[in-house]
Amino acid sequence: MADKDLAAQQEARDAVEAASFAFKTVAQLSQSKIDEICDVMSRAALADAARLGKMANEETGFGKAEDKFEKNRFAAEDVWNYFRDLKTVGVVKDTESIVEIASPRGVVAAIIPSTNPTSTAIYKIIISIKSRNTIVLSPHPSAAKCIAETTRIMREAAIKAGLPGDAITCLTNSTIEGTETLMKHKKTAVILATGGTGLVRAAYSSGKPAFGVGPGNVPVFIERSANVAKAVSDILTSTCFDNGTICASEQSIVADSPIADQVREQFKAQGGHFLNSSEADTVGKILQTPQRTLNPGIVGKSAAFIANLAGISIPDGTRCLIADCGGVGRDYPWSIEKLSPTLAFFVADGAEQGRVAVRKYCNSAGWDIRLGCIRRIVPQLSGLAS
């Protein structure tokens, strides 16, 4: 184990040094060349989106292959199309009072999670190269193969288009020590960290500029004026997509009291199954570990799988398990981020009570700073000199 840790640390150091050397070339590329390289990487990732989605599903056991394909397609096509025309070279804004010039930062350390491994790798590679930075990816150990394959596909396409080979690297030794070495290396300029709370905190405390995407634990308030059928449909579509592995998907429902019964009926009609108190307690025990952290054994699993694991029976065709929840915090397992098609259910009387309930839920969740949108991260990866 010690030898593996040492090998991982050395690999990380070598990768950053090589990426730093490649950065000298990448930083001088023209806007047209950068866009050409990103375009061919996007098309290469898109061509293999289905295969990579299947690989991710089979390697991690999380989610659904067809949904991971869609996430890959979105990252490779929609995200790229959204900011492909964004200027990241030279003068990007010129007014009477200020001139903004995009200046790349250097080596990007990209920490890739197991829940959304291939899609996260795709967009982090594209946004790093788009902003004329180089990138070293540190894959989650349980998703190392699919992340490495994603990197290989995009790297080979980029090299053919003129990008230095060391501009994109994926570490082969996945250890905590290797990741820490990557983040703290003196030539690492920016960290893009996607993962658990501990990882994101480590990124923030590394002494480097860091953009962290940690736990989400998203609540949603259904107000009395809402189109209940549509609201429920949208929530189920979101929380059931890829079996709930996206941290931005809903984890709890706060229903306005005048329509609470209607909300319940719509969930039942659209594939949600409300557990009785005994069943909810039984499932709650497997949502958490004895240390009261999220049980990885239920992440990205179907409602049927979770019910079977808990030893309870549910109707055929159940899309999502739902339980009334008496409070918020670690003493209430249903209120934690579950990353599965499971929802906690609360009732509040009016928008003000709903706001208080949602705020209490968010505060209890201890949310980390999140990446708001892809459009904003690309300029932030470039220092703007006036």
pLDDT, tens digit, 9 for 90 and up, residues 92-142: 889 989 999 999 999 999 999 999 999 999 999 999 999 999 999 999 999
CA 297 vs. chain centroid, Å, equals: 19
Q: What is the pLDDT along the chain (386 residues), one digit of tens a residue?
A: 567 788 899 999 999 999 999 999 999 999 999 999 999 999 999 999 999 999 999 999 999 999 999 999 999 999 999 999 999 999 988 998 999 999 999 999 999 999 999 999 999 999 999 999 999 999 999 999 999 999 999 999 999 999 999 999 999 988 889 999 999 999 999 999 888 777 888 888 888 888 887 777 888 899 999 999 999 999 999 999 999 999 889 999 999 999 999 999 999 999 999 999 999 999 999 999 888 888 999 999 999 999 999 999 999 999 999 999 988 888 899 988 899 999 999 998 887 777 777 766 666 554 433 332 222 223 334 443 32
Amino acid, res. 354 = G
- Cβ-in-10-Å burial (0-12, 13-18, 19+) of 161 comes to middle
Strand partners of residue 219: 252
Residue with the two structure tokens 């209490």: 360
Contact in structure between 104 and 384 (CB atoms under 8 Å): no
Residue 227 CA to residue 232 CA, distance in Å, equals: 9
Report the DSSP beta bridge partners of residue 272: 320
Q: Where are the beta strands (DSSP E) in the chain?
A: 90-94, 99-104, 107-112, 134-139, 168-170, 188-194, 210-213, 218-222, 250-256, 272-274, 320-324, 342-348, 382-385
Q: What domains sit in the chain, N to C, each tagged with a CATH number?
A: 2-214+370-385 (3.40.605.10), 218-365 (3.40.309.10)
What pLDDT, in 10s, does the model give residues 136-187? 999 999 999 999 999 999 999 999 999 999 999 999 988 889 999 999 999 9
| Active-site residue identified among 146, 170, 240, 247 | 247
Rounded alpha-carbon distances, angstroms, from residue 289 to 22, 184, 355: 44, 31, 30
Tokens of 167: 């501009």
- Determine the Cα–Cα distance for residues 215 and 338; give it in Å rounded to an integer: 10
Tell me the whole-structure pTM to 2 decimals: 0.88
* 38 tagged catalytic: no
